[in-house]
Structure 1
Amino acid sequence: MDRYKSRRFGFIKFRGRELDTGYMDKTPVLQFVLVSLLFPMWGAAASLNDILITQFKTIFNLSNFASAYVQSAFFLGYFIMAIPASYLIKRTSYKFTIVVGLILYLVGSSLFFPASAAATYGFFLVALFVLATGLSLIETSADTFSALLGQEKGRTLRLNISQTFLPIGSIAGILLGKYLIFTNGDNLETQLKGLSGSVKIAFGEKALRKTLLPYRYMIIALIVMIVIFLIVQFPKSKPSITTKKSQENIGQTVVSLLKNKDFCYGMFTEFMYVGLQVSVWSFTIRLALTLNSSLNERNASNFVIYSYIAFFVGRVIADYLMRTIPHLKVLLTYSVLGFIAIAYMLIDRSFNGVYVAILVSGLMGPGYATIYTETLSFIKNPHHTETAGAMIVMMVIGGAFWPLAQGWLADLTGSMSLSFAVHLLTFGAMAIFSYHYIKHPVKSQLLGASENVD
């Protein structure tokens, strides 16, 4: 069924025919690129969290556990807004939901300014929460939308290509933090030790104001992106098959999906993967600072930049390998190597651990997109796509849990190196998932317009 002529907002049209399943007969290049450009936007926000954790820990005199609240507030916003995002997509469109998400992202970024004036940790967490609700709408839409913008057989490769843009934003975010927030000279903790009273308070307030600078640039980028999405038309990418199940409400859809054991297993694995990614990046700067006290925050942030570059290279290599090798076999190989790398870090607790953490970032490469599209392929009814995508995105709550777990272990053991032991579990879960579905493949049912879904 060709729904190209249905009413859409925007002046720049897309080329291609929408299929009954929600996929397209070919990929509309401009629209695919614009959706892919959303990925670095949340990559930049997430990488700035790694900077904020380091900055807030010192300024507010926090433990490793308490400093990880930055990630908890951020990913709690993701978790809470994911299902409402799916409802909004179902009632409107992917494009409309993305625009609303960009507006919330803009509001959250703007809240950093009164948070800085108030100079309280809690206010910053509120700003991060609001910002993350917008990102939840964007990512819930973009992950599934990217997979749908073309033929069904290319969904995993398409999402992996879009995810390749993510580290570009991550690198941009960490560079903004490095040069606009961090300073030269002694690290912040050393500088604060030599101060007291009102001088120390004034110094801390000045350091907090520096956190505003990256968000000024992000606000400009968000305004530009909102305007672009308003003037470009996008496919609706909604299945046109009418069944009894297509009339289900959100609650009924969620219950139906939770009865799908394969889908739930995929969600759990995504929870483990996101926890791995967020936690490793959150503590890479802290790892470098604890293993080499002569480093300052600006110099230590270089290792996070190297981590994002490794992540980008690892993903590009994975994309290339997936052209000829089944994607689950690629994921299994990366996961086993990651497990071995973490085990080595626990044995060799020297500064080599920082370089191992960079290697680990490269081995995360194919994780999110591969687990996401594999899990999406387990659903039996194409009308469940939006809600299924939202439920998978909800698993980024792993990014709230695992940094807390790693921070707690670091405080307990007094060793940042030993705290990375938690990722024997996360890499192990990914390896088991990959191995299981290589041995016991589940036929993709999302495309099956002719299957009986009544």
Structure 2
Amino acid sequence: MDNTQTTRRGAAALWPLILITSLFFFWGIANNLNDVLIPQFKKAFILTDLQSGLVQSAFYMGYFLLALPAAFVMRRFGYKAAVVLGLVLYATGAFLFYPAADNHQYGWFLGALFVIASGLAFLETSANPLITVLGDPDKAAFRLNLAQSFNPLGALSGIFIGQHFILSGIEHDEVALSAMSEAARQAFYVSEVKAVQGPYLIIGCVVLLWAVLVLVSKFPVAANVDAQNDSSDEITFGQSVARLFSKPHFLFGVVAQFFYVGAQVGIWSFTIRYAQVELGMAEKEAANYLYYALIAFAIGRFAGTALMTRVRPGLILGVFALINVALTLYAVLSGGINGLYALTASSFFMSIMFPTIFATSVQGLGNLTKTGSSLLVMSIVGGAALPAVMGLISDQSHMRAGFVVTTICFAVIALYALRAPKAEIALTGSHGH
């Protein structure tokens, strides 16, 4: 292909590239809005910490259950079809927030979050490989890194939307609530629930518009055809799974990823609650610490990736995991403002964990890599299970005691890192988690 053809191909792919890169921003918003919904629903529905933690359980179960169907749609109908379906599901879930609030039904909200996450499973499964076919193959890694940089911006936007357009800043203790008339108390609960309607309605409209733009836009042929372009070398899914179960290091990687996502989701889900319980901090002020955590996370990704040019990724993973064992244990034992600082700082050291575990787990899998990658995506169900466990411990004991779960998670990751392959891993991109 001469330079003129390459230039034309790049120009033709520019608009589709913009559309798909924006998806990384959109799912960052959805993921981190959950961290605001947890304290909001706890207040509006009078929930225990376990019940409020079900926000993440419903969300990550959507990822878990739809990961393989998303891969099937992508392989059968192409990347573009999977993206459009994912956006439609995302918008549908956002629109479902409106009737859920009108009917004041927490279970309806959980169902809506499940639908949103189902859409995100399609988007995350298809967007990363789609970026690589939109343009010059030699610049695929650059495009993927560029696209991934929009994910933290989406995450910060999610916290901003939640802090300024959902959290009211009105917080009544039990004494104040009991002093209210029944009508006033119910009016307060209703107003807090309905605060989510406007933001999610707007999000749904924007996402649906994006689905239409993707649908009517012309994409390169590679984005519309069967994404499985090496079928001659494929083995069946069952054969792949059977072979993967004979690879203990890969299986340990799946376990480590389960615990990592559980730790990350758990820390970010209960940071606001930790600040409220430990310091009596107002919800809007407490949300600032999610900002700080996400900024630390973004800085950690750049710093960690740079460090990997000089130091073996498995070693960095192990050291960062051990540091987080210490930080989270300190947050459990100390509490107070220093405990909150420790939890915030842990995000810096979490930053490189997902892609590093992913890369070291699939290293050397050959034609098992596709199936192995699907299982690793499914392992994020840890984000559904472990925050619920944290909430249960909090209800039975104390909020900060729940964070012992994250300490255990990082200990498992450190143990995995000690057994990671010694070869260098070239990380060409980061996952949104």
TM class by shorter-chain length?
Answer: 0.7 to 0.9
2:87 paired residue among 98, 102, 119:
102
Task: Pick closer, same or farther for the CA change 1:192–1:137 going to 2, 3 Å.
Answer: farther
2:397 pairs with 1:410: no
1:128 paired residue among 92, 107, 113:
113
1:188 is displaced (CA, Å) by 7.3
In structure 2, C-alpha distance between the alignment counterparts of 1:216 and 1:188, rounded to whole Å: 30
Task: Pick closer, same or farther for the CA change 1:286–1:36 going to 2, 3 Å.
Answer: same
Residue in 2 that maps onto 1:311: 297
Equivalent residues in 2 for 1:390-409, closer than 5 Å: 390-409=374-393
In structure 1, C-alpha distance between the alignment counterparts of 2:9 and 2:373, rounded to whole Å: 23
Which amino acid is the alignment partner of residue 263 of structure 2? Answer: L
SS in 2 for 1:183: coil
Task: Pick closer, same or farther for the CA change 1:56–1:266 going to 2, 3 Å.
Answer: same
| Cα displacement string for residues 396-440 of structure 1 (whole angstroms, at most 9, x for unaligned residues) | 1000111011111212222x222211112211222222221244x
In structure 2, C-alpha distance between the alignment counterparts of 1:30 and 1:436, rounded to whole Å: 43
SS in 1 for 2:335: coil
Which amino acid is the alignment partner of residue 276 of structure 1? Answer: A
2:311 paired residue among 325, 334, 338:
325
In structure 1, C-alpha distance between the alignment counterparts of 2:414 and 2:138, rounded to whole Å: 25
Residue in 2 that maps onto 1:377: 363
* Equivalent pair of 1:328/1:434 in contact (CA under 8 Å): yes
1:82 paired residue among 67, 73, 82:
67
In structure 2, C-alpha distance between the alignment counterparts of 1:229 and 1:61, rounded to whole Å: 41
* Equivalent pair of 1:83/1:390 in contact (CA under 8 Å): yes
Task: Pick closer, same or farther for the CA change 1:373–1:13 going to 2, 3 Å.
Answer: farther
1:286 paired residue among 254, 273, 277:
273
2:284 pairs with 1:266: no
1:165 is displaced (CA, Å) by 2.8
- Gaps of at least 5 residues in structure 1 are 6-11, 17-27, 445-454
Task: Pick closer, same or farther for the CA change 1:238–1:361 going to 2, 3 Å.
Answer: same
* Equivalent pair of 2:91/2:205 in contact (CA under 8 Å): no
Residue in 2 that maps onto 1:8: none
1:225 is displaced (CA, Å) by 2.8
* Equivalent pair of 1:349/1:417 in contact (CA under 8 Å): yes
Residue in 1 that maps onto 2:419: 436
1:321 is displaced (CA, Å) by 2.0
Residue in 1 that maps onto 2:234: 246
* Equivalent pair of 1:85/1:390 in contact (CA under 8 Å): no
In structure 2, C-alpha distance between the alignment counterparts of 1:354 and 1:278, rounded to whole Å: 16
Q: With the length of structure 2 as denominator, give the TM-score of the two structures.
A: 0.86
* Equivalent pair of 1:57/1:67 in contact (CA under 8 Å): yes
SS in 2 for 1:398: helix
Task: Pick closer, same or farther for the CA change 1:158–1:359 going to 2, 3 Å.
Answer: farther
Equivalent residues in 2 for 1:164-243, closer than 5 Å: 164-186=149-171, 192-230=177-215, 231-234=217-220, 235-236=222-223, 238=227, 240-243=229-232
Bigger shift: 86-95 or 124-133? 86-95
Task: Pick closer, same or farther for the CA change 1:61–1:268 going to 2, 3 Å.
Answer: same
1:251 is displaced (CA, Å) by 4.0
1:126 is displaced (CA, Å) by 0.8
In structure 2, C-alpha distance between the alignment counterparts of 1:443 and 1:331, rounded to whole Å: 12
1:419 paired residue among 384, 395, 402:
402
In structure 2, C-alpha distance between the alignment counterparts of 1:381 and 1:161, rounded to whole Å: 27
| Cα displacement string for residues 206-225 of structure 1 (whole angstroms, at most 9, x for unaligned residues) | 11110112213312331343
| Cα displacement string for residues 325-377 of structure 1 (whole angstroms, at most 9, x for unaligned residues) | 33333322322221221222233222211111110111111111222233333
* Equivalent pair of 1:160/1:370 in contact (CA under 8 Å): no
In structure 2, C-alpha distance between the alignment counterparts of 1:258 and 1:129, rounded to whole Å: 29
2:104 paired residue among 94, 119, 130:
119
Which amino acid is the alignment partner of residue 382 of structure 2? Answer: G
Which amino acid is the alignment partner of residue 330 of structure 2? Answer: Y
Residue in 2 that maps onto 1:25: none
In structure 1, C-alpha distance between the alignment counterparts of 2:51 and 2:244, rounded to whole Å: 35
Residue in 1 that maps onto 2:430: none
Task: Pick closer, same or farther for the CA change 1:327–1:49 going to 2, 3 Å.
Answer: same
In structure 2, C-alpha distance between the alignment counterparts of 1:218 and 1:203, rounded to whole Å: 25
CA RMSD of aligned residues (A): 3.1
In structure 1, C-alpha distance between the alignment counterparts of 2:28 and 2:105, rounded to whole Å: 25
Residue in 2 that maps onto 1:276: 263
1:247 is displaced (CA, Å) by 5.6
2:123 pairs with 1:138: yes
Number of residue pairs the alignment of both structures matches? 416
Equivalent residues in 2 for 1:142-157, closer than 5 Å: 142-145=127-130
